[in-house]
Amino acid sequence: MKVDTWLDERGHRCPLPVIALMRAAQQAPAGFVIAVLSDDPAARHDIPAWCRLKGHAYVGEEPPSDGGGGSSYIVEIRD
C-alpha cells in the first residue's frame, strides 16, 4: 500500500502520536494513507482504537522503512 504521508512521532508519548494522526486526518481526503512512526508501546493499542472510534481503516503495523526504532502504524482515511 502506498503511503501518502509519514508522521514521525518517535520520542513522543501517547497521546501525542494520536493527536498528530487526528490533525493530519482532518486535512486528508478519503483514501489518503497515513503512516505514524512511533516507539511508544501504547500506540500499538491507541492508534487502532482511535481508528475504530473515528471510522477509519487501521491497515496494520510494520517495521519502519528507515530502519529506525519503533513501528509504523498504517491508517487509511475514510469519510
CATH of the domain at 67: 3.30.110.40
What local confidence, expressed as pLDDT, does residue 66 receive?
87
In this structure, are residues 73 and 43 in contact, taking their beta carbons and an 8 Å threshold?
A: yes
19 compared with 68, residue with greater pLDDT: 19
Domain count, the chain: 1
Neighbours of 75 (CB within 10 A): 26
Instruction: Tabulate helix, strand, coil % of the chain (nearest 5).
Output: 30, 30, 40
pLDDT in tens, 37-66: 999 999 999 999 999 999 999 999 999 988
Q: What is the pTM assigned to this prediction?
A: 0.95
Task: Output the nine-digit C-alpha cell for 54.
Answer: 473515528
Whether 51 is catalytic:
no
In the set 14, 16, 20, 25, the catalytic residue is 14
Q: Which domain holds residue 47?
A: 5-76
Q: What is the mean pLDDT of the chain?
A: 97
